[in-house]
Amino acid sequence: MKNKAGDQSLVRKANQGSIVEYLRKNGPTSKAKLSRVLKISKPTVAKNIEELLKEKILYEYGEGESSGGRKPLLIAFNPNYKFVLSLEINVNHPMIALYDLHGKILTKIKLSMSSKIKEDAFLNKIYTAVEQMMSDEAIKDDRIGVITVSTPGIINEETGDIYANPQFKDWKKVNLVKELKNRFNKKVIVKNDISMAALGEKHYGIGKNYKNLIYISSTLGIGAGLILNGKLYEGLNKAAGEIGYFVTKDQINSNQNLENEYAIPMILEKISGSLQENQDSLLYELTGGDPNQLTLGQVVECINLADPYVLSIIDEAAIAYGIAINNISILLDLECVIIGGALAELGVYFIERMKEVVKKNNPLTVELMTCGLKENASLYGNYIVGNEYITKHLIK
Q: Of 22-31, 56-65, 114-123, which range is least confident?
A: 114-123
Do residue 121 and residue 210 come from a single domain? no
Average pLDDT over residues 236-245: 89
How far apart, in Å, are the Cα atoms of 302 and each of 9, 244, 321, 322, 332?
Answer: 66, 26, 20, 21, 35
Do residue 122 and residue 271 come from a single domain? no
Do residue 238 and residue 362 come from a single domain? yes
Mean pLDDT score of the chain: 92
Do residue 304 and residue 350 come from a single domain? yes
| Whether pLDDT at 195 is above 90 | yes
| Whether pLDDT at 130 is above 50 | yes
Average pLDDT over residues 197-210: 97
Do residue 327 and residue 223 come from a single domain? yes
**Of residues 66 and 382, more confidently modeled:** 382
Do residue 192 and residue 270 come from a single domain? no
Do residue 38 and residue 154 come from a single domain? no
How far apart, in Å, are the Cα atoms of 330 and each of 222, 241, 356, 362?
Answer: 20, 15, 15, 7
What's the rounded Cα separation, in Å, for the pair 342 and 324? 18
- With a pLDDT cut of 90, the percent of the chain lying above it is 77
pLDDT grade for 168, boundaries at 50, 70 and 90? low
Average pLDDT over residues 11-37: 95
Please give the single-letter amino acid code of residue 250. D
CATH of the domain at 122: 3.30.420.40
Do residue 61 and residue 40 come from a single domain? yes
Do residue 238 and residue 363 come from a single domain? yes
**Of residues 147 and 151, more confidently modeled:** 147
- Domain of residue 106 covers 83-199+377-392
- pTM, two decimals, is 0.92
Do residue 258 and residue 322 come from a single domain? yes
pLDDT at position 250 is 82
pLDDT at position 157 is 74
| Whether pLDDT at 160 is above 80 | no
Do residue 263 and residue 388 come from a single domain? no
CATH of the domain at 21: 1.10.10.10
pLDDT at position 171 is 67
pLDDT at position 220 is 85
Average pLDDT over residues 96-123: 91
| Whether pLDDT at 43 is above 70 | yes
Q: Which of 46, 77, 108 is the last residue of a domain?
A: 77
pLDDT at position 68 is 67
Q: How many CB atoms lie within 10 A of CB 120?
A: 12
Q: Which of 39, 55, 77 is the last residue of a domain?
A: 77
Please give the single-letter amino acid code of residue 144. I
Q: Which of 27, 59, 77 is the last residue of a domain?
A: 77
How far apart, in Å, are the Cα atoms of 85 and each of 41, 75, 152?
Answer: 37, 26, 18
Do residue 220 and residue 335 come from a single domain? yes
pLDDT grade for 1, boundaries at 50, 70 and 90? very low
> Which residues, 6+ apart, have CB-to-CB distance to 270 below 8 Å?
313, 316
**Of residues 115 and 280, more confidently modeled:** 280
